[in-house]
Structure 1
Amino acid sequence: MATKQTTTVPLLPLRGLLVYPTMVLHLDVGRDKSVQALETAMIEDHLIFLVSQKEMGIDEPTEEDFYHTGTLAKIKQMLKLPNGTMRVLVEGLNRAKIVSFKQEEKMFSVDIEQHTEDHEKTSEDEALMRTLLQYFEQYIKLSKKVSQETLATVTDIDEPGRLADIITSHLPVKVDQKQEILEMLDVKERLEKVIEYINNEQEVLQLEKKISQRVKKSMERTQKEYYLREQMKAIQKELGDKDGKTAEVSSLLEKIEKAGMTDHIKEVALKELDRYEKVPASSAESSVIRNYIEWLISLPWTKETEDILNIKRAEKILDDEHYGLEKVKERVLEYLAVQQLTKSLRGPILCLSGPPGVGKTSLARSIATSLNRQFVRASLGGVRDESEIRGHRRTYVGAMPGRIIQGMKKAGTINPVFLLDEIDKMSNDFRGDPSSALLEVLDPEQNNTFSDHYIEETYDLSNVLFIATANNLATIPGPLRDRMEIIDIAGYTELEKLEIAKRHLFPKQLKEHGLGKTQLNIKDEAFLKIIRMYTREAGVRSLERTLASICRKAAKQIVGEERKRITVTPKTLEDFLGKPRFRYGQIEEEDQVGVATGLAYTTVGGDTLSIEVSVAPGKGKLILTGKLGDVMKESAQAAFSYIRSRADELGVDPSFHEKLDIHVHVPEGAVPKDGPSAGITMATALVSALTDNPVRKEVGMTGEITLRGRVLPIGGLKEKTLSAHRAGLTKVLIPRDNEKDIEEIPESVREYLEIVPVSHLDEVLKHALVGESL
C-alpha cells in the first residue's frame, strides 16, 4: 500500500530524459534556472524534483510544458565544469506529483505529493516478474545493446515495482511511454505494461534481424560476385585477354541504351548480353552472341529522315538528272502529293521495267534525293538461295542476316529508298525460292512484321519505299509481280539520246577524263552519227562507252600532240571511232522476194528481225532454222496451214505442199529467238516466196496469226516501233487491238512512222507486198 507526503522542493526540468526511483544517474545542467534550482537544493536538504518536458526544443518552459508526475531525487554530488555547466549525480527516491506550481524569478519550485511504495508481493506478482525477466533476457539476446551484467543485476531485484522501473529504463522506448510507466502507481498494472512494451520491442528486433540477414545475404552475394569477377579477370589476363569482358560488356550496354530499340528488342538484347558475359571468351558461342548483339545495335529501330515533300523541288531534281521518262516522274510526284496530304502513306512497291541502259537504277537514286531519303541498293541478279533474303539461322557457322536487313543497316534509317536491282534474274534450286521469300518483303500488309532468320525478331519495313528493276517481266513469278506496280521504261528515241548525250553523258565523261569544256567539242551532227551508226540499242550505255572512247583519244592528242582544242565533226568521227558498225537507213536496199522484216521485243529493248523463206522442188518438207523457240515454230506451222487453206485466194498452187520443200530461216542463228509476235511476218514471207511477189523494204510488221488469218495483239509496241525507227523503216503494221497503245509511242517517232492497224492477214499482204496479191 502506498503512502502520501507533501513537500516543497526546487524543480529541475529534464529534456529527453526520465529518472525512476532508486536510479542513480549523472546529469549535465546548463540552463540558468536549472543551475539555481540545484544550488538552492544543495543549500537546503539536497532534495530536488526531477520532471520531464513534453517538448525537448523549449528553452524557457512554463507550467503547461511539464509532465505533472516526476521523481523526487537526492543530490549525491555536484561538480562545476570548465564550460560553465554543472554535472550532478542524483539518486531517485520516490514518485511524486505536482500539487501546486511556484514560479520564482530565478528558478522553479513546486509543492509535491510523494508516493512511497509499500506493496506486498503476491504469487501473481511473482509470475509477472518471472515473465518479465524471461522476456528481458530474450530481448538482451536479440538486442545485444544491454550487457549480461545488467541482466544479473536486474535478476537480483525482489521488488516488483522497482523491477518494472529498472527494466523500462533500459528499453529504447519513447519518453512519453516511459512517463506512462512512471505515472502508473499500481504495481501489477505497471508490470503488465512493461511486459507489453518489451514484447513489442522483441517483435521489432526480430524483424530487424530478418532484414539484417536478408541484407547480409545480398551483400554476401554481391561480394561473392565481385570476388568471382575479379578472379575471372585474373584468369582472362593469364589467358591473354588483357582487359577481360568487363569494358566490352559496359560498352555494349551503353550502345544498347542509345540504340533506340523497342522495349521488346531491348529486353532481348540485354538477355543476350547477360549470356555473353557468362560465356567464356574462348568459346565459339561467345563470338556468335557478340555478332548478334552488334547486329541488333547497328539496325535502325526508330531513326528516320524527314521527307521533304516539295513537289516543285522534286520535279526539278528529276528533270535535272533525267531527260524524258515522263511517266515515271509523274508517278513519283503523285506519291509525294498523296503523302503530303495524308502524312501516313505507306511506301508503294514500284517496279521499273525496261531494257538495260535506260536509267532505271539512276532514276531510283534520284527519287531518293528528291525525297531526302537514304538510298540503298541490293543486287538480286543470280540469287538462288532463300537465305540471301531471309538470312541464315544462328545455329549455322558463318550465319548472317539476309540482304534486306543488311541493306537496312547500311541505310541507317527506317525509311530509306531501297532498290531491289535485277529482280527478274533470281532463280531457285534445292536451297529454296528467293522470289517467294520476297513476297513478304513486298507486301504492304505483311512487311511491318518482316522476320529474318538471323535476327529472329520482327522488323518493320512498312516505311521503306521499295523500288525494283527488271529487264524482262516474263521471268518474274506471278504472285511477286502482282505485289508491284509496274512502270515500263522503253528505249529512247534519237532526239532523246541526243539530249541525254549533250546534257549528261558527255559532261560526265569530260570530267572523268580530266578535260575542260573548251578542250573537246562534239557537233550535234556528230552526236547523231554516233547514235545511228556506232550504237544500236534501247538505252545509252554503248553511247556512253563510245563517248568515253572519243574522250580517251582526245586526251592522248592533247597530251601527246599538245593540241589545245579538238572539235569532232561527222567527217572526223571515223578518225576517233573507226568505220561505222551499223548501216543506218533501210534494212534492205531493194524489195526482195521471200524476205519480210518483223519487229521483236527482247530483254535489251526492241529489235528488227529479218525472216527469209526459200522454196525448192521437193516433197513438201517445212524446214525451220535460226535457233527458233517452240512459239516461233508454232507460228510458222500456223502460217503454213493458213496458206494451204487459202491457196486459191492467195494465188498459190494448191499442191505446193506436195511438190515444194519450204525453208524458213531467221538470220543470226546463234541467238535464241522466241515469242508470239512473228506469225504475220512468217506468213508474209511465205506468201511472197510462193507467189514470187516482193515484200516492200520499208515495211515492218508485228503480230501473231491464227489458223483463220486473224491478227492477234502483242506486247512491247513502244519498244518495237522505236527499233523500227532506228532501223529506218517508214511503215509499221500492228494488230488492231494494239491501236490503244499508239499513244505511248513518242511524238517524234509517230511523225516519222506510218503506223497501220490491221486485223487480218489479207490487210497485211495488201500493205506488205509490192504487187496486188488478192
Structure 2
Amino acid sequence: MEQFEQEINIPDELPLLPVRDIVVFPYMVLPLYVGREQSIAAVNEALNEDRLIFLACQKDASVEDPEKEEIYKVGTVAVILRMLKMPDSRVKLLIQGIKRAKITDYVESDQGLRVKIEQIADDVKEENIDVQALLRHSKDLLTKAVSLGKPMLPDLLAVIDSIEEPGKLADIIVSNLGLKMDEGQTVLEIENPVDRLKKVGELLNREISILEVQQKIMNDARGEIDKSQKEYFLREQLKAIKKELGEEDDFQLEMEEYAKKIKKCKMPKKVNEEAMKQLDRLSKMHPDSAESTVARTYLDWMVEIPWSKATKDMIDIKNAKKILDEDHFGLEEVKDRILDFLALRKLKNDLKSPILCLAGPPGVGKTSLGMSVAKAMGRKYVRMSLGGVRDEAEIRGHRRTYIGALPGKIIQGMKTAGTNNPIFMLDEIDKLGSDFRGDPSSALLEVLDPVQNVSFVDHYLGVPFDLSKVLFITTANYLDPIPPALKDRMEIINIPGYTEEEKIKICEKYLIPRQKKENGLDKYEIIFTKKSLSELISGYTMESGLRNLERTIGTVCRKIGRKIAEGDKSESFTVTEKSLEKFLGPVKFIGEEALKENEVGVVTGLAWTPVGGDVLFIECTKYKGKGALNVTGQLGDVMKESSRAAMTYVRTIAEKYGVNPDDFDNFDFHVHIPAGAIPKDGPSAGITMATCILSCLTGRKVDKGVAMTGEITITGKVLPIGGLKEKLLAAKRHGIKKVLVPAKNEKDLRGLPKYVTKSLDIVYVSTFDEVVPHALID
C-alpha cells in the first residue's frame, strides 16, 4: 500500500463525487453505484485524467443535488480501479481510498463538480512506548471482537498484525466496524493518527460490549433449545421403545391433545391457568381412576366452550328490517327495538346487549321472533325453556364434587351455539318455579344483568364466563308471576293479540302458503275468500295468537288434499263460508249478536279478553224489595265493587233525572252480565252498569247503536281503561257506530292504525253526565 501511495501523484484539484450513507476511509476497497448525472460526469472526467476522484459525504442523504454547504469538507482521495456501466444507466465503480484530504475551494466546471483539496498528513511526530502500547492494545481488542463473532476476513487480520502506523491501523479497523455515517465522519476528521486510534479503541470497546451481550443471549437461547431438543429426543426415543414393545402411551398422546386444544381456545388468562392446572393434575393421575374421568369431563367442557369465538354482526339495517318483515307481520315495537340496537352497534362496537322481555298471549310469535332476530343479525340461535324449572343448579350448574355433575343450561347453551354472542331465547320465564332446591329466578338475576354477567361463574366450571355479548330475549304470557327484581332487569315489550284484520293478512301472506307446502299442495291454487277467513277466525278459533288458526287452515288443506287423492281433477279450489262447514263442521264459537232494537236497562259494553275484544250486553231490572243490589255473571271482586260504585253514584243524581228517591228503598236491583260460565273482572264496565241502572230507574231506552267503556268513581268521574284497540275492533265487528271512551284515553288512539278507528264515531267523556245524552233516548 505504501508503494502504491508513493507511485501516485495526487494533484491539488480533483473531480468531486458526493456519496450518501457511507464514509470512505483510506486503504478501504468497496463498490459504489453512481446514478446522478453530475456524479457520472465527475466519474468520466476522472477516468479521462488519472482515475483519481475526491469522495466526500453529503450531510443529508435525501438531497439529490447537494449545495456546497451540504457537503462535508473532509473526505478521501480515491482511485477508480474498475468501472462498469449498468443497463439502467447507472455506473458501478470499484474504488480504493488513498489519502485523507479536505476541500479548500470549489471550481466551476462544465464536466461536473471539481474541488481544490489540501492533503492531510498522517505522520506521527515521535515514536514512543505509549504509541507502541496503543497499537498492541488496538490489535488485541480487534482479536477479541473477532473471537466474539465480529465478521472479518482472515487475510485482513494477518495484514493488520503487521501494521505499525497508528493512522493506517485506525483507518483499516474503523472501515470494518460498520459505523453510522455521522460516527464515521467524526473519525475521518480526526487529523492526529494517535488520537484517531484512541477513538477507534473506544468504538472497539463499545462493539465488544455489544458482542458480549449478544453472545450471552445466543448462549442462553441455545441452552434452552438444547434442553428442549434433548427432552424431545428422549421422549421420541421413549415412544419408539414403547412402540417396539407394543406399549404405546395413549394417555400421553391424550394429554398432548388436550394441551393443543387449550392453546387453540384462546381462553382468558385466569381460565387458561385453571385449565392447565387441571391438565397437570390429570397427567399425574392413573388413567383408569375415577378422578381422571371427572377431570377429563371437565377439560372436555373447557375446550368446547366458545371463549373467544364470535360471529360478526350484520349491521345492514335495511336488510335486517327486510328479514324481520318477511318473517313476521306487525310487531313493530319489537322490530324497532332490534333495529335501534343494530344501529347503535354500528356506531359503538362494545355496546352492551339489551335484555328484552316479550310479553303477550300464546301464539303471537314471541318465540319464533327470536329466530328471526338471529337471522337478521347473522348470529347463532339458542333456545332454553324455563317452564317447570325448579332447581337453581339448572341455571348455575352442579359442583364437580357430585357424581354426574354438569354445567347449567346457560353454559350448555353457549356450547351448543359455538359462539360467545348468540341470540339466547329464555322461553316462558313466567313459568319458573321454586322449592327446597333453590330459586332459579334468583340465579337468573346475575345472568340477566348487563353489569354482572360479564363474569358469570357456573358452579361446575368454577371460572368466570363473559355473557355480556349475548343478546338475551325472554318470553312470558303474564308479567305478574315474574319477581320484581328480575322484571326490573328486563326491557319489557308488550305484544298484544292480533286483530281480525291483521290475522286475515297473516293468513294470506304466511299461513296459507306454509300449509299448502306442508301438505303437498304447492302445485294447486287454493283461494280463501276474505269472508271465509273472517268466519274461520271468529267462528272456528277463539285466540289472540295464530296456532289454532294455522291448525284449522291445515285441516282445510288436508280435506282438499283428500279430494285430489280421491280423483278430483281440479287445479284450483276456492274456500267460501259455505264450504267451511263442509270441511270443518258446524261453527264452534257463536258471538254475541248486536241488539236488534232499543231496550230499557240493556246497555252494550266493551270488554278485553286474552283472545281479543268482545261486546257484553249488561242488563238491569228492578223488583219489589228493600233496595238490595244483586250482581251475577261470575264476576270478580273488582267488578262487583265497580257495580256498587255505579249504584252509589246513580243514587246521588237520581232526582236530577226525575227518579223518585223512595224507589231505592222499595225495589231491589239485579244487574246481570250474560255468558255466566266465563269469569269476568275489571273496572272498565263502570259507566256501562251505571247507565243500565239509570235506564231501569227512569224507564228511558238505551240507544242500541252506542257502546261504552270506562271506570266510574262515586263522584261520577270517568277514568281511563286498557285494551282500547281490541275493544274498538269488537265494536266495529258488531256494527256499532258510536263508542264512548274516557277522555284520558285519547292519547292511546294516536298510535292505533287507521283501520281500527275508521267508520267509528268516538266520543270522549270525562264525567257520567256526558255519557247520559249519548246513551239514553228521551
Q: TM-score, normalised by structure 1?
A: 0.64
Between 1:336-345 and 1:674-683, the stretch displaced more is: 674-683
Render the CA deviation track for 1:90-119: whole Å, top value 9, x for unaligned.
xxxxxxxxxxxxxxxxxxxxxxxxxxxxxx
Displacement of 1:320? 1.8
Displacement of 1:712? 1.5
Listed as ranges, the matches of 1:250-649 within 5 Å are 250-278=256-284, 285-565=291-571, 566-583=573-590, 586-649=593-656
Rounded to whole Å, the distance in 1 between the matches of 2:660 and 2:488 is: 50
> Are the aligned partners of 2:621 and 2:669 in contact in 1 as well (CA < 8 Å)?
yes
> Are the aligned partners of 1:490 and 1:718 in contact in 2 as well (CA < 8 Å)?
no
Displacement of 1:721? 2.7
* Matched pairs, number: 555
Secondary structure of the residue aligned to 1:404 is: helix
Displacement of 1:680? 2.3
Q: 1:304 to 1:722 in 2, by over 3 A?
A: farther
Listed as ranges, the matches of 1:722-737 within 5 Å are 722-737=729-744
Rounded to whole Å, the distance in 1 between the matches of 2:282 and 2:659 is: 86
Rounded to whole Å, the distance in 2 between the matches of 1:348 and 1:447 is: 12
Q: 1:64 to 1:755 in 2, by over 3 A?
A: closer
Rounded to whole Å, the distance in 2 between the matches of 1:683 and 1:732 is: 16
Between 1:753-762 and 1:534-543, the stretch displaced more is: 534-543
Q: 1:325 to 1:656 in 2, by over 3 A?
A: same
Q: 1:715 to 1:58 in 2, by over 3 A?
A: closer
> Are the aligned partners of 2:310 and 2:420 in contact in 1 as well (CA < 8 Å)?
yes
> Are the aligned partners of 2:445 and 2:489 in contact in 1 as well (CA < 8 Å)?
yes
Rounded to whole Å, the distance in 2 between the matches of 1:748 and 1:415 is: 40
Listed as ranges, the matches of 1:739-750 within 5 Å are 739-750=746-757
Rounded to whole Å, the distance in 1 between the matches of 2:586 and 2:705 is: 25
State the AA in 1 paired with 2:350: S
Q: 1:567 to 1:246 in 2, by over 3 A?
A: same
Displacement of 1:548? 0.6
- Corresponding residue number in structure 1 for 2:80: none
Displacement of 1:711? 1.5
Q: 1:591 to 1:535 in 2, by over 3 A?
A: farther
Secondary structure of the residue aligned to 1:348 is: coil
Rounded to whole Å, the distance in 1 between the matches of 2:286 and 2:729 is: 67
Render the CA deviation track for 1:510-563: whole Å, top value 9, x for unaligned.
010011242533334433332343334333223212211100101111112343
Larger gyration radius, structure 1 or structure 2: 1
> Are the aligned partners of 2:542 and 2:611 in contact in 1 as well (CA < 8 Å)?
no
> Are the aligned partners of 2:544 and 2:610 in contact in 1 as well (CA < 8 Å)?
no
> Are the aligned partners of 1:625 and 1:664 in contact in 2 as well (CA < 8 Å)?
yes
Listed as ranges, the matches of 1:685-704 within 5 Å are 685-704=692-711
Q: 1:659 to 1:62 in 2, by over 3 A?
A: closer
> Are the aligned partners of 1:718 and 1:744 in contact in 2 as well (CA < 8 Å)?
no
State the AA in 2 paired with 1:751: K
Alignment match of 1:673 (pick from 677, 680, 701): 680
> Are the aligned partners of 1:493 and 1:749 in contact in 2 as well (CA < 8 Å)?
no
> Are the aligned partners of 1:354 and 1:605 in contact in 2 as well (CA < 8 Å)?
no
Rounded to whole Å, the distance in 1 between the matches of 2:391 and 2:602 is: 46
Rounded to whole Å, the distance in 1 between the matches of 2:391 and 2:478 is: 21
Q: 1:671 to 1:446 in 2, by over 3 A?
A: farther
Secondary structure of the residue aligned to 2:741 is: strand
Rounded to whole Å, the distance in 2 between the matches of 1:62 and 1:533 is: 114
- Corresponding residue number in structure 2 for 1:80: none
Q: 1:329 to 1:383 in 2, by over 3 A?
A: same
Displacement of 1:506? 0.5
State the AA in 2 paired with 1:357: G
Render the CA deviation track for 1:158-191: whole Å, top value 9, x for unaligned.
xxxxxxxxxxxxxxxxxxxxxxxxxxxxxxxxxx
> Are the aligned partners of 2:271 and 2:464 in contact in 1 as well (CA < 8 Å)?
no
Rounded to whole Å, the distance in 2 between the matches of 1:286 and 1:767 is: 83
Rounded to whole Å, the distance in 1 between the matches of 2:160 and 2:689 is: 128
Displacement of 1:374? 1.0
> Are the aligned partners of 1:721 and 1:745 in contact in 2 as well (CA < 8 Å)?
no
Displacement of 1:740? 0.5
Render the CA deviation track for 1:581-605: whole Å, top value 9, x for unaligned.
3446844444444444433344444
Displacement of 1:627? 3.5
Between 1:370-379 and 1:631-640, the stretch displaced more is: 631-640
Rounded to whole Å, the distance in 2 between the matches of 1:249 and 1:588 is: 82
Rounded to whole Å, the distance in 2 between the matches of 1:291 and 1:281 is: 13
State the AA in 2 paired with 1:518: Y
State the AA in 1 paired with 2:739: V
State the AA in 2 paired with 1:457: V
Rounded to whole Å, the distance in 1 between the matches of 2:379 and 2:648 is: 59
> Are the aligned partners of 1:585 and 1:729 in contact in 2 as well (CA < 8 Å)?
no
Displacement of 1:311? 1.4
Q: 1:435 to 1:609 in 2, by over 3 A?
A: farther
Rounded to whole Å, the distance in 1 between the matches of 2:329 and 2:619 is: 39
Q: 1:294 to 1:58 in 2, by over 3 A?
A: closer
Q: TM-score, normalised by structure 2?
A: 0.64
> Are the aligned partners of 1:349 and 1:465 in contact in 2 as well (CA < 8 Å)?
yes
Listed as ranges, the matches of 1:90-239 within 5 Å are none
Q: 1:498 to 1:63 in 2, by over 3 A?
A: closer
Rounded to whole Å, the distance in 2 between the matches of 1:384 and 1:753 is: 49
- Corresponding residue number in structure 2 for 1:711: 718
State the AA in 1 paired with 2:653: R
Q: 1:700 to 1:299 in 2, by over 3 A?
A: farther
> Are the aligned partners of 1:448 and 1:459 in contact in 2 as well (CA < 8 Å)?
yes
Rounded to whole Å, the distance in 2 between the matches of 1:663 and 1:745 is: 37
Secondary structure of the residue aligned to 1:308 is: coil
Structure 1: tracts of 5 or more residues without a match: 1-53, 66-210
> Are the aligned partners of 1:643 and 1:650 in contact in 2 as well (CA < 8 Å)?
no
Render the CA deviation track for 1:628-674: whole Å, top value 9, x for unaligned.
33322222222232223333234444344543333344444444433
Rounded to whole Å, the distance in 1 between the matches of 2:259 and 2:285 is: 16
Displacement of 1:63? 14
Rounded to whole Å, the distance in 2 between the matches of 1:623 and 1:282 is: 79
| Aligned residues: CA RMSD | 3.7
Rounded to whole Å, the distance in 1 between the matches of 2:286 and 2:659 is: 90
Rounded to whole Å, the distance in 2 between the matches of 1:611 and 1:397 is: 63
State the AA in 2 paired with 1:627: Q
Render the CA deviation track for 1:23-81: whole Å, top value 9, x for unaligned.
xxxxxxxxxxxxxxxxxxxxxxxxxxxxxxx999999x99999xxxxxxxxxxxxxxxx
> Are the aligned partners of 2:499 and 2:612 in contact in 1 as well (CA < 8 Å)?
no
Rounded to whole Å, the distance in 1 between the matches of 2:743 and 2:703 is: 21
Structure 2: tracts of 5 or more residues without a match: 1-143, 148-152, 162-222
Secondary structure of the residue aligned to 1:571 is: helix
Q: Percent same amino acid at aligned positions?
A: 53
Secondary structure of the residue aligned to 1:473 is: coil
Q: 1:413 to 1:648 in 2, by over 3 A?
A: same
Q: 1:433 to 1:572 in 2, by over 3 A?
A: same
